[in-house]
Amino acid sequence: MEVRLPAQAVRVQRALEDVLLRCDVSARVATDPVEYVRRYSDPHDVELVALIASSVAFGNVKALRAKLADALERVGPAPARAADDARKLARSLVGWKHRVWVADDLVQLILGARAVQRARGSLGAAFGRELAEHDFREALARFVDAIRAGGLARVDRRSARHLLPDPRANSSCKRLLLFLRWMVRGPNGADLGLWREHVDPARLLIPVDVHIHKLAKNLGLTDRNAATWQTAEEITAALRRFDPADPVRFDFALCHMGMAQRCPSKRDAVRCEGCGVQSVCRHWQASRRPTERRRTP
């Protein structure tokens, strides 16, 4: 049965569709960590590179892309094959560092993920198997457990624990959810669609980074101040009304618009100029005459 959306929700949906239409995907991909993932063709390599790229996707995008490029150059053109030689892999990454993460963290992540690939055939098959038996959050937590357990038994030192968040805690798990978006959605200009046979895009949650969080609050999709797992669920539930089969399809365009716009989360004639969601933003609506104000969806 088709559900009629409230008028303001329809306006938000139209604005989001417009942001999607106006997004120059290939230009934006060229500035995004996913661009590195798209350079690989072997599915095992694609999965590993996507996991590495999403795991280090924190902070300034230019800086993180440089660190990612450095790591991938050290690992070599065939990361899955490289991960079959733990000592050589560790030697190749000596000295690598990005923010709080050091070479050992990355080595453990790659070895753990490669061990899961060997045991289950692919990371996609491993996650799909968990998803068949558990709810989304528990399936993701078990997937993370498997990668953590697959690293070398050096619990006294660093481990994949440093790069992979625990979905059972209350983090929004933005980087893990970004990894899933890349693997499950598409193939299109940004996402790779490698796991379509294992995971239904309808089950994805939106990766809540600072840009998505701000925009979601400004559009009335959430009122939560902290970027938690519940925040990701709430924003996704709001987006699901617009597209139940693919609720995170607005993520790439919206996130890149947020980056370009440097949303000030207040009415600012200069910074808000050209913002694709200005017509439905709370900060612009708040400054209209009372009779012109719209209810949030």
Nearer to ligand SF4, 80 or 263 (CB): 263
- At its nearest, how many Å lie between ligand SF4 and the CB of residue 128? 36
159 binding ligand SF4? (CB under 6 A) = no
Nearest alpha-carbon partner for 34 in 210, 179, 200: 179
76 binding ligand SF4? (CB under 6 A) = no
Nearer to ligand SF4, 79 or 258 (CB): 258
CB 13 within 8 A of CB 242: yes
What gap in Å lies between CA 166 and CA 162, rounded to an integer? 10
Nearer to ligand SF4, 170 or 278 (CB): 278
- At its nearest, how many Å lie between ligand SF4 and the CB of residue 243? 20
Q: CA angle 189-192-194, nearest 5°?
A: 155
Q: Is 38 helix (H, G, I), strand (E, B) or coil?
A: coil
CB 263 within 8 A of CB 277: no
Nearer to ligand SF4, 112 or 297 (CB): 297
Q: Out of 240, 241, 284, 294, which residue is the one contacting ligand SF4 (CB under 6 A)?
A: 284
263 binding ligand SF4? (CB under 6 A) = yes
DSSP E strand stretches across 149-293: none
Maximum CA extent, the chain? 69
Nearer to ligand SF4, 110 or 275 (CB): 275
Partners of residue 171 on adjacent β-strands? 228
Q: Out of 56, 93, 164, 215, which residue is the one contacting ligand SF4 (CB under 6 A)?
A: 215
Site string for ligand SF4, 217-256 (x = CB under 6 A): -x--------------------------------------
What DSSP assignment string belongs to 66-91? HHHHHHHHHH-S-HHHHTT-HHHHHH
Residues 264-283 that bind ligand SF4 (CB under 6 A): 264-265, 271-272, 275, 277-278, 281, 283
What gap in Å lies between CA 97 and CA 42, rounded to an integer? 26
11 binding ligand SF4? (CB under 6 A) = no
Dihedral (C-alpha) 29, 19, 280, 210: value to the nearest 10 degrees?
Answer: -10
Task: For the beta carbon of residue 45, count every other beta carbon within 10 angstroms.
Answer: 20
261 binding ligand SF4? (CB under 6 A) = yes
Nearer to ligand SF4, 216 or 248 (CB): 216
Nearer to ligand SF4, 163 or 206 (CB): 206
Q: What backbone torsions phi and psi does residue 171 show, to the nearest 5 degrees?
A: -65, 155
- At its nearest, how many Å lie between ligand SF4 and the CB of residue 209? 15
Can you give the binding site for ligand SF4, defined by CB under 6 A? 215, 218, 261, 263-265, 271-272, 275, 277-278, 281, 283-284
